[in-house]
Structure 1
Amino acid sequence: MFALASNSQDWFSRKSEVPKVEKLAVVLDAAPPGHEEIRDKPKRRALAPELTPKAVIAAEARPKETVTTPVTKHPLATQPAPPAPTAEEWAFAGNYPLKNSKGYRYTWGKQVRSMMGTAVEGPDSGQVRFRIEIAPDGTLAKLETLWTTSSVAEQLARQAIGRIPPLPPTPTGKPLTFERTISFTPFATDWPPIYDDDCLPDPPVFTNPFAWDGKSPQVVHVEPEPIKKLDPQALEECRKQLPQNSIEAEIAREQRLQNQWGSSKLGK
């Protein structure tokens, strides 16, 4: 026991020698039957060649391809000529003297437009404004073009005026002078007039007090005369001869008011 005790320190410090085992890894490369010769080889990715400054400048200067969307042509708008005034309409126009023969002036314009044909959207459509003078017997005494937006429209209107059938005498038995715009477009319609206020006097015409042509002597501007009130009995007699407005005229008036003033309900 003393011998064991004396050698215990060496015994505990002694380590058993363990044989070292080297690690061995085995890799198997199994190929499908019949394809033993195929082996996966690493694929090399082709690298883009570096651009030289000249190549970069040429690439930037190359025009870029633009994709254009084909434009689809819409059908042109058209508006056929209105029917010519009837004999009843001319009979009314020849006997209505109020407002510088208002009925006669409208019927004359409708007669001209009915003889101009169909208006087609395009450069040939447009408007022309004339100053006309009708002799007391209904014949044309003077025709002057004030302005026009289409030479074709003016030519067609002048041809129609030259072929107008004989017209009735003017309502007042005097020469009738007025201005009239003929619209030869597919987007404009010459609506019938409203006769409700034809018995009321015309409002005063505004004149510029500073207007001067530079040639004629300057005169002091005269204030317009105040509007005279009609006698109630004369006003009642005048209203008896007013014709009834057509449905087309009422629709046109409501549309003009709507376009001018709008509606308070639409903004809410």
Structure 2
Amino acid sequence: MALHAGLLAWMRGWTPWLTPQPPVPPETIVMIDLEPPPEAEAQTLRPEISQASTSESLPAEEAAALPDLEVSEPAPLPDSEAPRRAYSDAPAPPSAEEWALASTYPLKNSKRYRYNWGVQVRSLMGRAYEGPDQGMVRFRVVIAPDGSLAELETLWSTSAMAEALARQAIRQMPPLPPTPTGEPLVFERTITFGPNDAEMPPIYKYDCEPDPPRFRNPYVWDGHSAQGPAIQPSAQPLDPQAYAECLKQLPPDSIEAESTNDQRQLERWKSHRLNVP
């Protein structure tokens, strides 16, 4: 029985002592002595760390007697390797002809006049660089009937530099033509001072269309009138003759204005559910 048990154990590999084992190589331990760098090289590589560690290890009298180490600033990189900031040049100011056309365009609260005013301000602000000074500022502007500035109020601003440059540009603006309606022109305008935002012309082909009425909640009760849903006012169509006369005032839209309008509509109405980039 012992003989059979030994054979069975040998067949199943339960007896490692019966099979020869490979010799175990002797373990080799290598000792490496690292020499500290010279004192001069340590001060040259990390002068601030070397001085701090020396001051902590020496007494106060000896540390005070140590000479101050001179740390030289790194040499500037060549122009090919130096980082460059993005910038945007100021747009060209509106010409005298453009101002003359704007002073005769009363549609949509003197739309062309307001656009030229914003371009004139931005052109006087100069080049805009990428950085902490870029930003936007929104003004509430009142233009007198003779074209002079009657009131200027800052509604909000994201950059003190942009607001200061815009106000300086407004003070330096040349005399403007009279307003198209002969009445004070009141509007709000956002001036963008940055490298990635360009002043694009507006689109005029819809200026003869009547403005949609302002929405009112039909279920709001004022407390004294008859309760019930209020009737929403509808847009009143223009007289055909007045509409034809209005169409004659519309200037032709440029390709830049059309592309800007398309991009604005895409950003407003795009949805990730429609897989629109």
Q: Does the TM-score normalized on the shorter chain lie above 0.5?
A: yes
* 1:115 is the counterpart of 2:144: no
Answering whether residue 233 of structure 2 is matched by residue 225 of structure 1, we say yes
Task: Give, in whole Å, the separation in 1 of the partners of 2:154 and 2:269.
Answer: 33
| Pair 1:131–1:207, CA change in 2 (3 A) | farther
* SS, match of residue 141 in structure 2: strand
**SS at 2:183 equivalent:** coil
Query: Identity, % of aligned pairs?
Result: 56
2:55 is aligned with 1:46: no
Question: How far apart are residue 207 of structure 1 and its match?
Answer: 5.6
| Residues in 1 aligned to 2:163 and 2:203: alpha-carbon distance in whole angstroms | 27
Whether 1:246 and 2:223 are equivalent positions in the alignment is no
Are positions 1:133 and 2:142 aligned together?
Answer: yes
Residues 29-72 of structure 1 show CA distances to partners (whole Å, capped at 9, x for unaligned) of xxxxxxxxxxxxxx9543489xxxxxxxxxxxxxxxxxxxxxx9
Distance change in 2, residues 1:81/1:201 (3 Å): same
Are residues 218 and 187 of structure 1, via their aligned partners in 2, closer, same or farther at CA, if it must alter by over 3 Å?
farther
Aligned to 2:15: none
Q: Structure 2 regions of 5+ residues with no counterpart?
A: 1-24, 32-80
Residues 139-184 of structure 1: CA distance to partner in whole angstroms, max 9, x if unpaired?
A: 0000000000000000000000011000000000000000000000
Supply the RMSD in Å over aligned alpha carbons. Answer: 3.3
What SS does the aligned partner of 2:154 have? Answer: strand
**For the residues of structure 2 that align with 1:210 and 1:131, how far apart are their CA atoms?**
33
Which has the larger share of helix?
Answer: 2
Describe the superposition over 1:4-52 as per-residue Cα deviations: whole angstroms up to 9, x where unpaired: xxxxxxxxxxxxxxxxxxxxxxxxxxxxxxxxxxxxxxx9543489xxx
Task: State how far apart, in whole Å, the 2-side matches of 1:85 and 1:98 are.
Answer: 19
Give matches, 1:97-112, under 5 Å. Answer: 97-112=106-121
Return the alpha-carbon distance in structure 2 between the equivalents of residues 249 and 207 of structure 1: 32
* In the alignment, structure 1 residue 192 sits paired with structure 2 residue 174: no
Tell me the distance in 2 between the aligned counterparts of 1:73 and 1:222. Answer: 66
- Among candidates 139, 143, 156, match of residue 152 of structure 2: 143
Q: Determine if the alignment matches structure 1 residue 203 to structure 2 residue 185.
A: no
Of 163, 170, 178, which aligns to 1:161?
170
Give the 5 Å matches for 1:3-14. none
Q: SS in structure 1 opposite 2:142?
A: strand
Give TM-score, length-normalised by structure 2.
Answer: 0.64
In structure 1, distance between residues paired with 2:176 and 2:224: 42
Which has more radius of gyration?
Answer: 1
- Following the alignment from structure 1 to structure 2, what is the Cα–Cα distance between the partners of residues 76 and 208? 49
Q: For the Cα contact (< 8 Å) 2:270–2:276, is it kept in 1?
A: no
Q: Which amino acid in structure 2 is aligned with residue 174 of structure 1?
A: E
Letter paired with 2:262: E
Between the aligned partners of 2:223 and 2:175, the Cα distance in structure 1 is 45
The amino acid of 2:208's aligned partner reads C
**Are 2:202 and 2:257, in contact at CA under 8 Å, matched by a contact in 1?**
yes
